[in-house]
Amino acid sequence: MSIGGQIAWDDTVLPFQLDACDIRGRVARLDSALERLLTRHDYPAPVEALVAEAVLLTALIGQTIKLRWRLSLQVRGDGPLRLIATDYVAPEDEGAPARIRAYASFDAEALSRQAPGFPQIGKGYFAILLDQGRDMEPYQGITPIAGASLSDCAEAYFEQSEQLPTRFALSLGKSALRGAEEAWRAGGVMLQHMPQAAGATPRERDTMSEDWARANLLLDTVEPLELVGPSVQPPELLLRLFHEETPRIFDPQPVHFGCSCSEDKVRNSLSIYSAKDIATMTTDEGVVTADCQFCGAHYVLDPATLGFEASGDDG
C-alpha cells in the first residue's frame, strides 16, 4: 500500500475509536474516485463543489453499513439546485472496495454560477436511505435543510433523527501535487458520540458531555491541508488531534467510483410498458435510448425487444 515510500491513503475510509471516551469516528480521503465521478459530468462550479461535499459525507457515513447493503443520501430543494443524490454500495466481500456514485439536477438558467451553491438549494430536506437487500423494508430518515452547509445538515440529521451527537470537519477542492495535473481531492473527519449506557449516573453523564466538548474543541484545530493530505496521514492526524484520548484505528475501507447500471436493468425498468408506450419512446432513428444519470452510460435498444409485449430479444 505504499507509493514512493509513502502510505497511500487516497480513496479510503479509516474507522477509529477514542478509547479514553465514548467516541467513535472515521477519517476519509478521496482522490481518484472523486475525480472520476465528477469528470463524467459538466457541472457548474457551485454544483460540482456541493456534489463533492455530498460524496465525502456519504463515504464517511456509509462505512458502517453491512456487506452488500446500500446507503443513499438525497438533498432536495425548491431552489435552482433541485437534487443531489449519492449511493454508497458496501463491498460484496470482506476486504473488497465499496463503490460510490453521485449526480445532481439543477435549473441551468436560474442557477448563479458565481454564488455559493448551498443557498441555491432553498427550502427542502436532507435524507438518508438504507437498502438492506431483498425482503427487507428500506429505512428512510428525513430532516429539513438546516445550517449553512451539507455537513451542517448531516449533523442536524443525526441529532434529530438518530439522537447521536455528530461532528464533521471537511476540506475539498481542486489541487495539484508536484508534477501532476490539477484534480479533485477531499478529506474529512467524522466524530460521533456513542449512545449513553442505560442507568448512567449524573456524574457519568457529565463526564461524557465534557469528553464530547473536548473532542469538538480538538477537532476545531484541524487544518484543511491536514484533512486532504497527502503529507499528513490519517493515523498521524488522529494522534496529533486526540493523543490523550487514545485513538485506536481499525482496518481501512477502500472506496472506488462505481455504477450499478446495466442494459439488463434498463430493460427491466421498461418491462412494465406496452408496445404502444414503447412506440412513444422510439426515436426517429427507430431505437430507444436511455442515459444513466450517475455515470453517463448511454444505452441504445431495439424497441421490438422492450416492454411486456416484446416480440423477441436482441441477441
Question: What is the mean predicted confidence (pLDDT) over 280-305?
Answer: 82
Question: What is the mean predicted confidence (pLDDT) over 111-118?
Answer: 96
- Candidates 132, 125, 126; CA nearest to 89 is 132
- The count of domains in the chain is 2
Are 159 and 297 in the same domain? no
Q: What is the pLDDT of residues 38-58, one digit of tens each?
A: 998 999 999 999 999 999 999
Q: Assign 65 to helix, strand or coil.
A: coil
Q: What is the pLDDT of residues 262-289, one digit of tens each?
A: 788 888 888 888 888 888 888 888 888 8
The burial class, CB within 10 Å (0-12 / 13-18 / 19+), for 122 is middle
Answer whether 274's CB lies under 8 Å from 309's CB. yes
- Candidates 151, 149, 131; CA nearest to 72 is 131
| Domain, as residue range, for 269 | 263-305
Q: Is 124 a domain residue?
A: yes
- Candidates 268, 309, 308; CA nearest to 290 is 268
Q: Is 27 a domain residue?
A: yes
Q: Is 247 a domain residue?
A: yes
Give me 293's grid cell.
444519470
Residue 78: CATH number of its domain: 3.55.30.10
Are 189 and 269 in the same domain? no
pLDDT at 7 over 50: no
Are 215 and 285 in the same domain? no
Are 227 and 286 in the same domain? no
Are 120 and 147 in the same domain? yes
Are 252 and 269 in the same domain? no
CA distance to 36, 112, 187, 313, per residue, from 11 (Å): 11, 31, 9, 40
Answer whether 52's CB lies under 8 Å from 172's CB. yes
| Cα(212)–Cα(246) distance, integer angstroms | 14
pLDDT at 4: 34
pLDDT at 6: 39
Q: Is 116 a domain residue?
A: yes
pLDDT at 16: 97
Are 225 and 240 in the same domain? yes
* DSSP letter assigned to residue 194: P
Are 131 and 109 in the same domain? yes
